[in-house]
Structure 1
Amino acid sequence: MNERPGAVAGTSVAEEVAAILSGLGVDKAAFTGGTRVVRSPLTGEAIAAVPETAPSEVAAVIGKAEAAFQAWRKVPAPQRGELVRLLGEELRAAKAELGRLVTLEVGKIVSEGLGEVQEMIDICDFATGLSRQIYGLTIATERADHRMMEQWHPAGVVGVISAFNFPVAVWSWNAALAFVCGDAVVWKPSEKTPLTALATQALFQRAAKRFGGVPDGLLTLLIGGREVGEALVDDPRVPVVSATGSTAMGRKVGERVARRFGRSILELGGNNASIVTPSADLDIALRAVAFAAMGTAGQRCTTLRRLIVHDSVYDALVPKLKKIYGAIGVGNPVTSDALIGPLIDKGAYEGMQKALGAARSAGGTVHGGGREREAEAPEAYYVRPALVEMPAQTGPVIEETFAPILYVLRYRSFEEAIALQNGVPQGLSSSVFATDMREVEGFLSATGSDCGIANVNMGPSGAEIGGAFGGEKETGGGRESGSDAWKAYMRRQTSAINYGRTLPLAQGVKFDVEG
């Protein structure tokens, strides 16, 4: 690995983080002197101490957001879109700094940090256009001299709970749509990655100042742990809660929101698979699998975790894949050209080792998976990605481990491959590598992949913002970002207008009374 140009010689991660935050307009008090210590996974060092929101303060924050919503919903949607357009401009201007901050706080390689900010910019563009396309329907009615229609109104305060692995992009999927729909947003970022949230809030405030007239509280932050999240989830003034994280977390959120008849948008676990068929272009498959399985150190919800390979191509593909796994660079992406950065923390490393131990006990052959660079960074957790050849889809293969572990399985018939693909509790993303159109169409049919995302001749990760993002089964069923996902942030209203001089009733009901 070569030293990466642009690394700041003699500057600690903490110093660089402070410089970026200050440059983006974040008050120094917001990242110093608090009780929540933030550590960079690159080195393990403490880089900030963030003041936390007390659970008792959450109600007041939500009250502020509710007041902002009351005003914001009166602003015409295209004008609301102008605010989001200005936010996109601020993100463009600060792309390098915010992308760098993502790398420093999360450990992503530089191009992925920048790519996350680009995703925010893209969804701002999408939402700006959407602000002039929020539509209802005119519906045929059985009653003479009547018109029936459907329209959409702002839902209210939207709570957004985001995860560490995409600390700002997933927020933007929700917030950009919520803002143009007329909602206010209360954001609880992961307690592991609050700094990028503070930076994003500062950029939003810049856009709001340029826009003028943005009600105070349209975007508010809650920084803290589980108790703060529970207070947000339980508040009846928050009709929509979007939560990204583990299935266990989502199950608790969904139950608590449902208890008060709120609405949940859940983006949870993804135990994603790719099928490599006999007709596959193996060169494309090899490159796609490498990124999908190892990118972001295996810490994407769409990371490829199961590779289902036909017997006839297994020996042509898997040895080449093992070679890539053994040679790929692992290290600090700020100071080297490594493609694999660190795991987020010690807990992630321990979870990975536990899964690999279970795989060995289940008869798996483990290649890689050991810790690297421990001597130079004892508090950082760099690992060699693991490729595990499994005799069957059992034990840890059924579970999602948020680490770079790829389980490889053999299959003989396409029906067997589909059964393996669908034979897990999660249902987020999937893909098939094939040039046989019967297999391609079968994979995409009602009897094929049961996931919310199904790709052909590419990996399961790297979704674009234009399509609705989300999955089925224990992935939660939520949809964010593109297509008609905007409807989740609004309330539907069906209306009928009688413009005649009589009162015909639906279904031919007669109810004549003397007036």
Structure 2
Amino acid sequence: MTTTLPTADDLRQQAQDAARRCGVDLDALAGDHFVTSPVNGQPLSSVRWSTGADVDGAVARAVEAFRSWRTVPAPVRGGLVRRFGELLREHKADLGTLVSLEVGKITSEAEGEVQEMIDICEFAVGLSRQLYGRTISSERPGHRLMETWHPLGVVGVISAFNFPAAVWSWNTAIALVCGDPVVWKPSELAPLTAAASAALLDRAIAEEGAPEGLSQVLIGGPDVGEALVDHPGVALLSATGSTRMGRAVGPRVADRFGRSLLELGGNNAAIVTPSADLDLTTRGIVFSAAGTAGQRCTTMRRVIAHVDVIDELTERVAAAYRRLPIGSPVAEGTLVGPLVHGAAYKAMQNALEAAGQQGGELVVGGGRRFEDEAPDAYYAEPAIVRMPEQTDVVRQETFAPILYVLPYRTLEEAIALNNDVPQGLSSSIFTSDQAEAERFLAADGSDCGIANVNIGTSGAEIGGAFGGEKETGGGRESGSDAWRSYMRRATNTINYSGELPLAQGVKFTV
């Protein structure tokens, strides 16, 4: 695909218009820090940063909002989230534009991220009437045991560039119906998306008469994130990012007896068995591995293919890679946009070099596009590398479109390869054999938080809990019962007997 990248003026005007329609004046937001668009490598806007010192005030305002919000009935709290979802629908294209311009997602993926925000609002509205506890049988006559769930407190959210708004919305929609305010530190690479998302929620808060301070955004650098991590007023710290970041965040939150919810690295694999439908498998692999230019935490980074199908499968996927339209993410027909910055491209080249040194064979890709036209933008050709075994570079997560293809002979060997990495986020198997699928999903099968059959590793729906094991951090967000992380549990005993029998048959008479 040949294309001309948009001019800096065109992109700036698009950003101005989209932000304005969401309620953000970029001139009023301007400051000393520049936002660079990966689309052309040029400045998009400037922003004024908060500092770590601003966190105290934000948390104090959130605590004040919590005092009243926690007593509002949960279905009423759900009404605020419903209105927020309606505003997201109205501004889906605007937010999608900002996502594309700031992080380089193609239009369908950028608007798909906003759709996730809409979906989690719908889920949360229903959840607001389903924050269920349990009634438990008591061993004592005339007694009843039950569980109740109560709002937890201030939720701090630190989000990453690759999903600059959706992950915040997962936390925020659930937190709000659970009775919690949110203080958000977005990625430094996507402040305009954050400002626009927060402005829409602020509008919903004002329209619904909810307390000020329920939602706050602090655009800034690492010092803001560190202050949120260490603040004793933050009851739950939800952080999305690298495993290295999680190693720092987890112990610091635990040291102050706070809660942390960590969504960290992924090194996701698909097992392809001899019975797999290779047409379906190829489509599933290409989207999971090349979508978002390989910059999803659920990106497929490994294919573990049976020796009977590995050659044909590799040829099919490589042929699809050669046809992938690479170019401006806001241009019609593009499927692969840019990497977010030069450091990501350098990491990709370093990994490809290491793979070659460790016995890998580059099948396709790895080059760069538009270097002459936009020297500060980094459009990489998604790469496929055949590896004889799972080496050190394969076990590392490289946040770029590199797909390693590994051989296997027995399903037990394939599952062992799937699990033989430090990360444990997402996984899949392509098979037409039900026994193989069930074996993969069993307790001694995939050790990941997400295990799929006949679909790729990316594209999770909000109805299920999202998260992973091992160095992925163990957190769960979004659907299912992930809401419990945002609430505190109380066990209640009610004695209506008129007597005072003790549990376990204890006798204590005075």
Instruction: Please state which band the TM-score falls in when normalised by the shorter chain.
Output: over 0.9
Question: Which amino acid is the alignment partner of residue 298 of structure 2?
Answer: T
Specify which of 15, 21, 24 is matched with residue 22 of structure 2: 24
Change in Cα spacing, 1:142 to 1:30, as seen in structure 2 (3 Å) is farther
Per-residue CA deviations over 1:190-235 (Å, capped at 9, x if unaligned) read 11111101000111122122212x1111001111111111100101
CA contact (8 A) 2:8 2:40 kept: no
What's the TM-score once normalised by structure 2's chain length?
A: 0.98
Change in Cα spacing, 1:480 to 1:270, as seen in structure 2 (3 Å) is same
Question: Which amino acid is the alignment partner of residue 123 of structure 1?
Answer: I
| Residue 202 (structure 2) aligns with | 205
| Residue 59 (structure 1) aligns with | 56
| 3-state SS of 2:233 partner | coil
Structure 1 residues 43-52 or 465-474, which shifts more?
43-52
Question: Which amino acid is the alignment partner of residue 478 of structure 2?
Answer: S
Question: Which amino acid is the alignment partner of residue 441 of structure 2?
Answer: L
Specify which of 307, 330, 354 is matched with residue 334 of structure 1: 330
Distance 1:171 1:258 in 2: 22
Change in Cα spacing, 1:30 to 1:411, as seen in structure 2 (3 Å) is farther
Specify which of 388, 402, 407 is matched with residue 391 of structure 1: 388
CA contact (8 A) 1:244 1:266 kept: yes
Distance 1:394 1:288 in 2: 24
Per-residue CA deviations over 1:18-43 (Å, capped at 9, x if unaligned) read 121122111334532x1221110001
What's the TM-score once normalised by structure 1's chain length?
A: 0.97
| Residue 218 (structure 2) aligns with | 222
Distance 2:169 2:496 in 1: 43
Question: Which amino acid is the alignment partner of residue 482 of structure 1?
Answer: G
| Residue 482 (structure 2) aligns with | 485
- Alignment of 1:407 with 2:407, yes or no, is no
Per-residue CA deviations over 1:31-71 (Å, capped at 9, x if unaligned) read 32x12211100011111111111111211111111111111
| Residue 443 (structure 1) aligns with | 440
Distance 1:8 1:280 in 2: 41
Question: Which amino acid is the alignment partner of residue 235 of structure 1?
Answer: H
Distance 2:501 2:331 in 1: 76
CA contact (8 A) 1:128 1:180 kept: yes
| Residue 231 (structure 2) aligns with | 235
After superposition, where does 1:134-213 map in structure 2 within 5 Å? Answer: 134-212=131-209
Distance 1:57 1:314 in 2: 55
Distance 2:52 2:32 in 1: 14
After superposition, where does 1:299-310 map in structure 2 within 5 Å? Answer: 299-310=295-306
CA contact (8 A) 1:31 1:195 kept: no
Distance 1:93 1:134 in 2: 29
Distance 1:8 1:215 in 2: 42
- Alignment of 1:124 with 2:121, yes or no, is yes
Q: CA deviation at 1:9?
A: 8.9
Per-residue CA deviations over 1:83-136 (Å, capped at 9, x if unaligned) read 000000000000111111111111001100110001100000000000011110
Q: Percent identity?
A: 61
Distance 2:330 2:20 in 1: 20
| Residue 275 (structure 1) aligns with | 271
Distance 1:364 1:341 in 2: 26
| 3-state SS of 2:53 partner | helix
C-alpha root-mean-square deviation of aligned residues, in Å?
1.4
Per-residue CA deviations over 1:329-355 (Å, capped at 9, x if unaligned) read 111122352210000001111111111
Distance 2:376 2:456 in 1: 32
Specify which of 362, 372, 375 is matched with residue 372 of structure 2: 375
Distance 1:461 1:24 in 2: 29
CA contact (8 A) 2:390 2:406 kept: yes
Runs of 4+ in 1 over 4 A off after TM superposition: 7-11
